[in-house]
Amino acid sequence: MLQRTRFPAGKIKPQFLARELAVLAFNQRVLAQAQDRRVPALERLRFLCILSSNLDEFFEIRVAELKERIRLGNEITIPGETPSVEVFPLVSERAHALVAEQYRLLNKEIFPELAEEGVRFLAEPQWTREQRSWLHNYFLREMIPLLTPIGLDPSHPFPRVLNKSLNFAVQLEGRDAFGRNSGTAIVQAPRALPRVIQLPQTIAGKGHVFVLLTSILQAFVQALFQGMTVRGSYPFRVTRNSDLFLDEEEIKNLRTALAGELSQRHFGDSVRLEVADNMPAELEQFLLEQFQLAADDLYRVDGPVNLVRLMQIPDLVDKPALKFPAFVPGVPKQLEASPDLFRVIRKGDVLLHHPFQSFNPVIDFLEQSVDDPSVVAIKQTVYRTGTDSVLMKYLIDAAQRGKEVTVVVELLARFDEEANLNWAAKLEEVGAHVVYGVVGYKTHAKMSLVVRREDGRLRRYAHVSTGNYHPRTARLYTDFGLLTADDKICEDVNEVFKQLTGLGRARRLHHLWISPFSLHERVLAAIKREANHARAGKPGHIIAKMNALIEPKVIETLYRASQAGVKIDLIVRGVCSLRPGIPGLSENIRVRSVIGRFLEHSRIFYFLNGGQDDLYLSSADWMGRNFFGRIELCFPVLDRRIKERVIQEGLKPYLSDNSQAWEMDSDGNYQRRKSRGRIPRSAQEQLLALLAADK
């Protein structure tokens, strides 16, 4: 059982942990969820798929950048950071260990456990005669028309292989109709083909029976090479650099430039090669040479080369006992009392805590704005919203009804660029004002503003949030959202929209901290203020919950605050480059990470401030990109009642969690907390019990 994340001592600089290793440490904590036998079997499978998805992005972005830095000789990007040439061997060692454990777990524990419950994945030797016949017909009917085998010879060079696509290297004997005998062919599996096929109940027998596309093609691949002998068929997958490059000084039209760059994403430089573990060594070497990769870039796997495609299995299997218990998100009491959202918000701010509370009020906020004749304008940012978003459809409807609709669409939301381009086009078609933020800065702020005519004057209503306007992920990610009619906050939100859509210098805002203008300096000032309180003999306390902490200036300022005597509790889900518990440097800092059923996504910043209990919610992590390369929003919680709720729901349960929490030591290693005879406490389970509706 891999329950600790440990890296070789002496390789990391004293103050900053290498970001790439911290990413892998987070992914090992994800793997631990799949290792946990207390987690239902289909959820364990889902965690394995999440790990695969995370590793895909890790290689596409982080490893690609690491390899590029090594290639260019740009070893150090931040003072005190470990040189890239030293980090890469550690990354390779850790990533190979993660993948090996991932497939061991799949084959030795999860597949057998699922089989006992009637969920089976059949390999070719396990097929009955009836199943083989059905699968052969499926191959002839659904697969052969889409398959294009490519024999390798001087007139057929090695094909361009798409990023993360499923391919097969086929070894052959004999000569074809033209007398060719190259001995090797490549078969690319079209993306239109499902990777998992469920057998009909009439031939499956009891339970749910699945066959992988890989097994079907390997069983019947001979049909693609008539008159020749197939010696072997081996799946492989290559991962490529998927970061987009746009020369901001040369861009005339961001939307046009992005559309052109997206078409090339599938063919970036190779960074990883995954192959079946039974692939012959000479074929492995041949593929490595084709993709210009080294032995360290090769990952042999005992099973499907793309586990992400198994993510659909839990949704295809109707077995509640193998999944987390279903729940119904709750609704705040003030919203239950009145269907009129605007009336409720005028009376006082409304806090929403997702996924424990429903995202529907956010949808209702927009729906009522569309239907209400008193609403004259709607403004909203879009970062990630999905390909089938009801919110975007409401915005389109509002524009068609003649309301002033302004949408700031972030075209460079990584891996959502295509969906956002499509929504931008649809919005423009109906007359909405669509802007793409500011070139050089991603618009990551989550905010919506509605302008309504009331009693002869215009009044603003706002929704500000730590999470995206994405109804599906709102069921999976923990986030806070605030519905407010506070004049000063709404005025600030309107000012931010003006900065995004127009021109002019940034004005000083009443309450909001904004990147790239004020957020970094305000966070540093708040940390320094706690240090000053501590030096004056007063209590100093900081609690910060976020996804990542790597910005050097913030880390250095936290170190100084610790040295001054400030108690600092950091709840960092993912990457943390700060080292806690170092005598004389960070002995007053504690770092923990909570990994559970839901993805922790909310950002909460608490500063004691002499008893004032300053509390902020934000779209930003404490990373350089959030402070200096994005438009980010950090908003205060002013209502004392709501402030107490955020502390009681968003901070305290996570600091006392002894079931799903991991604590970091001064070497950057994580140890999972255990109850050890005490009452087990899980923050997410407590919040479900507190906030979810009764079924």
Structure tokens at 324: 């987390």
Torsions phi, psi of 600, nearest 5? -70, 120
Give CATH for domain 4-104.
Answer: 1.20.58.310
Confidence at residue 192, expressed as pLDDT on a 0 to 100 scale: 87
What whole-number distance in Å separates Cα of residue 61 and Cα of residue 94?
A: 17
Which residues does the annotation mark as catalytic? Answer: 444
Angle at 636 (CA atoms; ends 453, 522), nearest 5 degrees: 125
The topology (CATH level 3) of 122-244+270-311 is polyphosphate kinase like (3.30.1840)
What whole-number distance in Å separates Cα of residue 61 and Cα of residue 82?
A: 18
Can you say how many angstroms the Cα of residue 632 is from the centroid of all Cα atoms in its chain?
18
- The single-letter DSSP state of residue 680 is P
Q: What is the pTM of this model?
A: 0.89
What whole-number distance in Å separates Cα of residue 494 and Cα of residue 314?
A: 43
Neighbours of 289 (CB within 10 A): 10
Give CATH for domain 333-507.
Answer: 3.30.870.10
What whole-number distance in Å separates Cα of residue 417 and Cα of residue 460?
A: 30
Q: pLDDT under 70 in the chain at which residues?
A: 1-14, 74-81, 154-156, 176-182, 244-267, 386, 411-420, 504, 694-695
Specify the amino acid at residue 520: H
Confidence at residue 480, expressed as pLDDT on a 0 to 100 scale: 98
Per CATH, the homologous superfamily of domain 514-691 is Endonuclease Chain A (3.30.870.10)
Confidence at residue 385, expressed as pLDDT on a 0 to 100 scale: 73
* Contact yes or no for 460/450 (Cβ under 8 A): yes
* Contact yes or no for 255/411 (Cβ under 8 A): yes
Same fold, 333-507 and 514-691: yes
Specify the amino acid at residue 557: T
What whole-number distance in Å separates Cα of residue 162 and Cα of residue 156?
A: 17
Confidence at residue 252, expressed as pLDDT on a 0 to 100 scale: 43
Specify the amino acid at residue 467: G
Domain spans of the chain, in order of start: 4-104, 122-244+270-311, 333-507, 514-691
* Contact yes or no for 596/571 (Cβ under 8 A): no
Q: What element of type H or E holds 409?
A: strand 404-409
